[in-house]
Each structure stands twice: as C-alpha cells, then as structure tokens.
Chains A and B, each alone.
Chain A
Amino acid sequence: MDFNFYLSTMWSVLKALPLTLEIWFFGIAFGLVIATGLTWLRASDYKLGEYFTRAYVFIFRGSPLLVQLYLIYFGLSQFDFVRHSPILWPILRDPMYCTIVAMALNTAAYESEIFRGALRAVPVGQIEAAKAFGMSAFTRFRLVTLPIALRLALPAYSTEIILMTKATALASVVTIMEMMGTAQKIQHDTFRPIEVLTCAGVIYLLLNLSIARIFAWVEYRLSPHLRPPPEQRQQIKPVPEVL
C-alpha cells in the first residue's frame, strides 16, 4: 500500500473541502429561504399559491438534480434574453452560482414538503389553547406552532441536509474543482481510482457524520419533553441487565 500516495491525495482533496462547504452552505441557505416562502404560500388560503407550490414540488422533486443543473448551466444560456440580462447573466454564466441555484431550487422542493408535513402535525388542541388565551396569529405561530413544528421537522430536515452534502459532488460536472472534481482530476492523472475515490469517500463520510451528530445534538436539546421524566431516567437502562 502506497501510504504516501494516500496522504498526498487526502491532502489535495481536503484542500477542496472549503469550496465544497461553500456550495453546500449557500445551497442550503438559499434553499431554506425559498422553502420558507413556498411553505408560507402553501399554507395560505390562496388557491393560486397552492397550485404554484404543487407544480414547483412536482417539477423539482420529480426530476434529477443533474438534469436541473445541466438545464440551468448549459440550457439557459441558449436564450438571448438571458445572455443580455444584466442580472441573470452574471449569475448564470458562473458554474459556481449555477450549482448553488440548482441546489437551492431542488432542496427547497423537498424542504417545503417537510415543513408542510410538520406544520400539519402540530396538535390542533395546542393551537386552540393559544387562540383561547387571546394570542394573535403571529404570537401563536411564534410561541406554539413554530417551536413544535421545528422539532417535528428536524429529523427529516437533517436527512435532506445530508443528501445536499452528497449532492455537492455534482458540481464537478460543471467544471468546479471541489472535492469530487479534485478527486476526479487526480484519478485521471494517476489512474489509481481505488485510492483516490476512497479518500474522497472517507472525507464525505466524516463530513456527514459530523452533520448528523450536530443535528442529533440539536434535536436532543430541543426535545426534553419527549424524553422520560427526570426520576425515571435512571430506571430505564439501554441494555437489559439480565441477558
């Protein structure tokens, strides 16, 4: 086993980690903003809003992210008005921006569905209690609906974030040298796919492990009411004593 080759590959791929994280961060950040808007549209009483969000989810959840990315990066630049637009062109000619846009649009579809489900799962009685105590719609949402819905959404949301981490690898197909792009270049140069791809895979694994741990910690902190009460906590042993 060529230990030095592993080390140098690991180092080269790790140097691309910041770029991967950059795509990841902006993708999920903008995605969250769009998803919030979509959820709000869906929850409002406007029929048009409901149709729009349904169509949006149908399109962006139903087609591969790779297709969406290609359409945005290669497809949109075919249109003259895109190339001549002072706002669109600076964004759509840059592969980095295109990846972020594709990821944000794609994840927003999934997230809006996650949020919609979480909002619907908030117990009606607790919202009614908030109404009965004279809380305004906004106060009700802030104090009762949102905190409960967030806890309900968290497990599915963390899965979506992990899917997005892996999706950043697609950026390599539009010339971005993030971790996957870098790994592929080394692979082409050295013809040693096993070593190179193992390195990349291990880094992705560790990255997702930390993300999962962070979400698990947040979930734990946010749901003391779903754990057993204090005096029962010692009584419940994770493993039965007599085996």
Chain B
Amino acid sequence: MSANVAAAAKAAPSSGETPAISVKDLRKCFGDHEVLKGISLEAHKGDVISILGSSGSGKSTMLRCINLLETPDSGEVRVDGELIKMKRSRDGHQMPADIRQVERIRANLAMVFQSFNLWSHMTVLENLVAAPTHVLKRPRAECLEQAEALLKRVGIWERRNYFPPHMSGGQQQRAAIARALAMNPKVMLFDEPTSALDPELVGEVLRVMRSLAEEGRTMLVVTHEMSFARDVSSKVMFLHKGEVDSVGEPKEMFARPPTPQFKQFIANFNK
C-alpha cells in the first residue's frame, strides 16, 4: 500500500458518523490465485467512489464480496455499522453465519450488473415490482406507482410492458438501474454498468448515473469510464493486482497520478 492511502485516510472526514460501507482487510482466493490481498474501503453517505483497475485487478470481486455474491476468505464488511457475521464451515472456508442477515443487508445494497441480469420472463414493470413486494413486503399498488415514476425518470416509461429481450442494451441497463432504485437502497453497487453496451448507448446510462450522483446517492462504481470517474465521483480508488494502489480526489489523481501504476493505467486509456 502506498503512502497516498494513509494520506487519503487522514484527509477523510472524521466526523464520527458511521460509514455507509466499511470494508476491512478483505481477502479472497480463487484456487491458488489470490484475487484480493487485503482491501480496505470506507464509503460515507453521499460518496460516489469510482473503483478503477485493469482486468484481473480484483475490482469486481471486491464489489461482489460486499453483498456476499462472493464469500470473502477473511476480512470484515460493515454496512451502516452492522458487521456481516461470518463463520467457518467444516472444511475451513468462511461462510455467512446468518443468511437472513445477509438477505436483509442485500436488500439495502441494490446492485447493477454488467450484463443487466433483468429477469427475462417478467415485463420491465414486473422487474421493478418483484423485489420490493416480495422482499420488502410493501403493498403492490404503492410499488407499481413508484415503479412507473422511476421508469419515467430513466426515460423508458413507454417500454414498461416490454420484456427485457425486446429492448436495447442501454434501455435494459436503465431498467436495471430503475429496478435497483425501486428498493430505496442505502448504497448502490455498479459492476461495470456500461462495459457490455455499444458505444453509442453508453451516454444514456451515464446520464442516469450522473443524475443519481447529483442527488447525493451513495454509490460504488466499478468502471472503465474515465470521464465518469474524473468528473462525477467524489473519490477514486485504483486497484492493482488485488491491492489498493492509490485513493484520492479524482481531479488530483488524474492531474498528478500518485503512483507509476496509475500513471501507466490512465496513459493506456488516453492512447
């Protein structure tokens, strides 16, 4: 870990407020390959953290460890101060101790996937209503009303009765963002939301994400969109070979890359 991380940690507001997400010393191996070598991260309410890194640097794995889509080998994850309880299975692997707790926490951490992962047998509207009614047990009428409002907001209300396979990638991803918003999540996790889109469709998704950032939502965004990282996020985190290489203010980071790795990384993008 470089000196910048310590500096950034010192610079972080020490208001005593509980961080929305706090990750400590996260480690994860796939077989012999150590993907995460002790990652720590803190996101406060309203933070928009862009997580950058070349492929294989562990950024998606880190995001998926936060909502336990991957089980970390060690380390702790706290959401709103609440520690996700883990236990050791008989073969020595770590696993969630209380699956109900994990489900409750996941409901607060809506996720947007690279490949949208909308439920293909449901219309867009049903996609937005499914989790709020069945997980949060909110009344269906209220959920439908909110869903329509959200679809208007992301600009695909006309397609509310369409099935996901009938829409363009950009529309599907906007529907997926609306689906995440329908949960009224405390934190939104974006796993390369624009990487599967045709270049001309990236803009419409980024516009929606930018408006979410502007209204003060807490977001963790794994992305390759340098302009989003530089202009929209409040913090940039660069992962390199499973470790936090550098963290900092986006303008500062891009103007004066703190490490040779990060300099190399952005140089490759500007080519």
Majority SS of interface residues in chain B? Answer: mixed
Per-residue B-contact encoding for A211-243, CB less than 8 Å = 1, 0 else: 000000000000111101110000000000000
In the complex, A226 Cα to B165 Cα: how many Å? Answer: 8
Q: How far is the CA of A143 from the CA of B111 in the complex (A)?
A: 18
Which stretch in A111-119, A134-142, A192-200 binds the other chain?
A: A134-142
Q: Does B135 contact A (CB under 8 A)?
A: yes
How far is it, in angstroms, between the C-alpha of A126 and the C-alpha of B116 when the chains are bound?
9
Assess whether B110 is interfacial by the CB under 8 Å rule.
yes
Asked if A126 and B120 sit within 8 Å, CB to CB, the answer is yes
Q: Does A130 contact B (CB under 8 A)?
A: yes
Is A57 engaged at the interface, CB distance under 8 Å to the other chain?
no
Complex interface: chain A residues within 8 A of B109 (CB): 132
Q: In the complex, which residues of chain B have a beta carbon less than 8 angstroms from the beta carbon of A132?
A: 67, 69, 106, 109-111, 113, 189
Contacts of B67 in A (CB 8 A): 132
- Secondary structure at chain A's binding surface: helix, strand, loop or mixed? helix
Contact between B121 and A125, CB atoms less than 8 A apart:
no
Which residue of B has the minimal Cβ distance to A142?
Answer: B134
Instruction: Give the distance to chain B from A29, nearest Cβ to Cβ, in Å.
Output: 26
A133 at the interface (CB under 8 A from B): yes
In the bound complex, what is the Cα–Cα distance between A122 and B67 (angstroms)? 22
Minimum CB distance partner of B176 in chain A: A129
> Is A133 a contact of B107 with CB atoms below 8 Å?
yes
Q: Is B265 interfacial (CB-CB < 8 Å)?
A: no
Q: Is the CB of B62 closer than 8 A to any CB of chain A? A: no
Complex contact A134–B166 (CB within 8 A)? no
Which chain B residues lie closer than 8 Å to A136 at the CB level?
99-100, 103
**Are A143 and B117 in contact (CB-based, < 8 A)?**
no
- Chain B, residues 79-104, CB within 8 Å of chain A (1/0): the string is 00000000000000000000110011
Give the chain A neighbours of B131 by CB distance below 8 A: 130, 133-135
In addition to A132-B111, A134-B107, A143-B130, 5 A-B residue pairs with Cβ atoms within 8 Å of each other are A128-B69, A132-B110, A133-B110, A225-B166, A229-B162
| A-B residue pairs, 4 tightest by C-beta | A134-B107, A225-B163, A229-B166, A129-B117
B-contacting residues of A (Cβ < 8 Å)?
123, 125-126, 128-137, 139, 143-144, 147-148, 151, 223-226, 228-230
